[in-house]
Amino acid sequence: MKPRIIAAMLAGAFGAAALLTSGAGAQDDDGEDEGRDPFSGGYLLYAGGLFFATMDADGDYLITETERAAGYTAAFARADRNGSGDLSPLEYADFTERALGARDAIPGLNTLDRDHDNRVNAAEFRRGFSELAARYADAETGAISFSALVEDLEEVQAVIADARRLEREREHAREHARQRTYPN
């Protein structure tokens, strides 16, 4: 099952997602642009999507388990700038900024650091990203398609609109309850 990046957005952890826009605007019957912004709409890239996409070694838009294994090894080696065999918090933050798009991107250091030593070793790195990859991978082949890494932005916006509507309704109900409890 895909993680719901929508929940992360609502919680304010938007740094892990990237917006990909469609290049075509709506056209009328004559092929003329209807005045709509040609870069409106698009897709939201799930956590780790940029990182996984770089692992597609053969360019077939599928990231296999073999490609991911090689990608984890290469990425860890690049991230381990001092060659210590562990990523310090600074090394991991630099890695997430370069590979995931933001210093505070998901998954964070604390998610990967299973032994709580404030460092990430190669096994923790591989295990953490393998668990994230499993959320996107096809159950039969184990491969991740590029399309599994994105969510239609209109669907995301609809969920956000619903969440805002529900919050307004809750606030209205709380205000109504306060007025009944403490009448003027």
In a domain, 117, yes or no: yes
In a domain, 171, yes or no: no
Of residues 41 and 163, more confidence is placed in 163
What average pLDDT score do residues 39-67 get? 86
The torsion defined by the Cα of 25, 29, 30 and 31, in degrees rounded to 10, comes to 20
Query: Band of the pLDDT at 25, cuts 50, 70, 90?
Result: very low
In a domain, 105, yes or no: yes
Structure tokens, 83: 């060659």
pLDDT tens digits, residue range 131-169? 999 999 999 999 999 888 887 667 767 778 888 899 999
- What range defines the domain where residue 101 resides? 5-25+38-47+63-160
In a domain, 134, yes or no: yes
pLDDT tens digits, residue range 96-124? 999 888 888 889 999 999 999 999 999 99
In a domain, 100, yes or no: yes
Q: Please, are residues 130 and 66 in contact by the beta-carbon 8 Å criterion?
A: no
Provide the H-helix boundaries in the chain: 5-10, 49-53, 65-79, 89-95, 109-112, 122-136, 153-181
- What is the count of structural domains for the chain? 1
Q: Which residues pair with 145 in a beta bridge?
A: 62
In a domain, 52, yes or no: no
In a domain, 169, yes or no: no
Count CA atoms closer than 13 A to 52's CA, side-chain side: 30
In a domain, 56, yes or no: no
CATH for 93: 1.10.238.10
